[in-house]
A and B are shown apart, each in its own frame.
Chain A
Amino acid sequence: MSTDTTPATETDDGLFADIDLGWEHRKNQLFLGIIFAASMFGVVMLVLLLLDIATDLYVGLTEFNISIVDFLTRDGSRREELSGFRGAIVASVMLMALTAFLSFFVGVGSAIYLEEYAPDTRITRLIEANLANLAGVPSIVYGLLALAAFVNGIGMGPILLGGAIALALLVMPIIIVSTQEALRAVPDGVRNGSYATGATEWQTIRNVVLPAAMPGILTGTILALARAIGETAPLIMVGALFTNRMPFGPFDRFSAMPTQIYNWAAEPSQHFIHLAATGIVVLLAFMFVMNGIAIYLRNKYETEV
């Protein structure tokens, strides 16, 4: 057996002896190492961040006797041992619901118009270019706009609706762009099949295009809302600070999760700092759940169409 193999190997060695790939393979390994380190950088940072928060949470729970149940069932307070997160959680959930309501229909509607109806004219291209610009505007600018136009302009005051308008303006370009991408991913053959069956444009969009694009639209919307739930600057601009009571409707004053955390973190007392850490854990939990739903939807439907 060995006698059979050895001459064959010798022939192979002879066959490729003139090609030296050693250096090329080392370069390949080196490049692989660099890009792997680059991709791990983000993961390491996230782990460090989570560790830091977990430590603060642990210290808060043990040394400052923060009770998770009390934390979730009490509103904010000037007294640190009585302070909780309930008002902020409720405010954030209401904000998300209002923001989704305000931005989803307008955003999806304009995406449908741009993608399915609008002729390819200079005006259409101008709108699309400016949507990309809008998506890049710093969030605090939306806060300023809401402050000037709604909170002060029409005398709305620093109420939850004002914050929801600021956040809705912030996420709308993102929703429009991701909806456009979802609509573009629906194959034209399906549209033509519908038209050729004698369907009108709206019947085609309603019955064929939207159902096929809906997972993509929902994923984009949820990811946009997950970004909005952590936004602090626009809420500070509309005055969502120093409110400890739980809001009962869109016309109440409020402080959402990120602004409450911001508020606590600025306090000199260590107890408040650890309340902030606990709040961050709750906020991150909300974000992870929302991202998880988005990933679930994407995986569930991505095999179709």
Chain B
Amino acid sequence: MATQKTQETDDSLITTDVQTGSEDRADRSHNTVVRARHLDVYYGEDQALSDVSIEIPEHEVTAIIGPSGCGKSTFLRSINRMNDQIDVCRVDGELSFHGKNVYDEDVDPVALRRKVGQVFQKPNPFPKSIYDNVAYGLRVQGKADDVDCDAAVEKALRGAALWGEVNNKLDSSGLDLSGGQQQRLCIARAIATDPEVILMDEPTSALDPVAASKIEDLIAELVEEYTVIIVTHNMQQAARISDRTAVFLTGGELVEFDDTATIFEDPADDRVEDYITGKFG
């Protein structure tokens, strides 16, 4: 009981601390939702992330860019502990969600993933009907009986800008859709359970430009309700859709994190400028 109380106090302390921190930047009134402090991630002997510290604000699009193998996806997957799926993966340091370190003993990764959804690089709908794909999260999370499932599915599909294209064929297989539609179906699946944060790992890299621009438009709408963290290879995309940009460079190091405009127009670090202007990477 006593321990519990201390824990609560600790948490609220952290939260207050965060709020004070954000008040310093009065123009950005958002709370920090995901924060890393001295985060190291290893795959066996290889270090994929090295001493990453970052504070990602609520209700904004944060883009993570960098060359291949710089640890962008590793960072994304460490937020919802999808790295747990990899046997040799080891995490040091702190990565907190609303002030709570998600790598604490008492955090259940399944519960964490119910608050932090993810959309993958390759569209991965289940071999089920469109309806069942979207309702899947509600069912596994035991919410399907409490809410109006039909309404929730429609809301999610509308939210993913897919309703108009599929509302007359909800029973057909999700695999029969085109690649871009499949990816929007995966976004609908992720938002159906109403998470707080949506992680996107290069969600448009497997899509044609038209489908990709639909996803980009969608991200701009999603950020009204959710916090979006997106890994992208495409610097133009990061510049178009994100509020903040984090630049990782080879070695798993976070080199610079700032407003997207600052990163692209006046980066503080020379290596970032070289990367942005295409001198390497």
Contacts and interface: CB of A to CB of B under 8 A. Distances in A.
A136 interface: no
Contacts of A212: 126-127
B113 interface: yes
B124 A207 contact: no
Nearest to A199: B140
Contact of A304 (B80, B139, B175, B193): B175
B30 interface: no
B136 A192 contact: no
Given A193-B189, A304-B173, A198 B124 contact: no
Interface string A258-295: 00000000000000000000000000000000000000
Interface stretch (B31-39, B115-123, B217-225): B115-123
A138 interface: no
Contact of B117 (A119, A187, A196): A196
Contacts of A208: 126
A189 B114 CA distance: 18
Contacts of B136: 194, 197, 199, 207
B145 to A, nearest CB: 15
Nearest to A303: B175
B190 interface: yes
A119 B126 contact: no
Contacts of B141: 197-198
A6 to B, nearest CB: 49
Given A203-B140, A304-B127, A192 B120 contact: yes
B104 interface: no
B186 interface: yes
Interface in B94-128: 110-111, 113-114, 117-118, 120, 122, 124-128
B85 interface: yes
B124 A200 contact: no
Interface residues of A, number: 21
A190 interface: yes
B67 interface: no
Contacts of B122: 189
Contacts of B118: 192, 196
Interface string B187-202: 0011001000000000
B87 A120 contact: yes
B267 interface: no
Output the residue of A193, A194, A212, A305 with the most chain B CB within 10 A: A193
Nearest to B195: A198
B82 interface: yes
Contacts of A194: 126, 136, 140
B127 A305 contact: yes
A198 B193 contact: yes
B202 to A, nearest CB: 13
Interface string B47-84: 00000000000000000000000000000000010100
A300 to B, nearest CB: 13
Nearest to A204: B140
Given A192-B124, A193-B186, A207-B136, 8 more contacts: A192-B118, A195-B82, A195-B85, A198-B110, A199-B136, A199-B140, A212-B127, A304-B173
Interface of B: 80, 82, 85, 87, 110-111, 113-114, 117-118, 120, 122, 124-128, 136-137, 139-141, 173, 175, 186, 189-190, 193
Interface of A: 119-120, 187, 189-190, 192-200, 203, 207-208, 211-212, 304-305
30 contacts: A189-B120, A190-B124, A190-B127, A192-B82, A192-B85, A193-B125, A193-B189, A194-B136, A194-B140, A195-B113, A196-B80, A196-B120, A197-B141, A197-B190, A197-B193, A198-B110, A199-B110, A199-B140, A200-B110, A200-B140, A203-B140, A207-B136, A207-B139, A208-B126, A211-B128, A212-B126, A212-B127, A304-B127, A304-B173, A305-B175
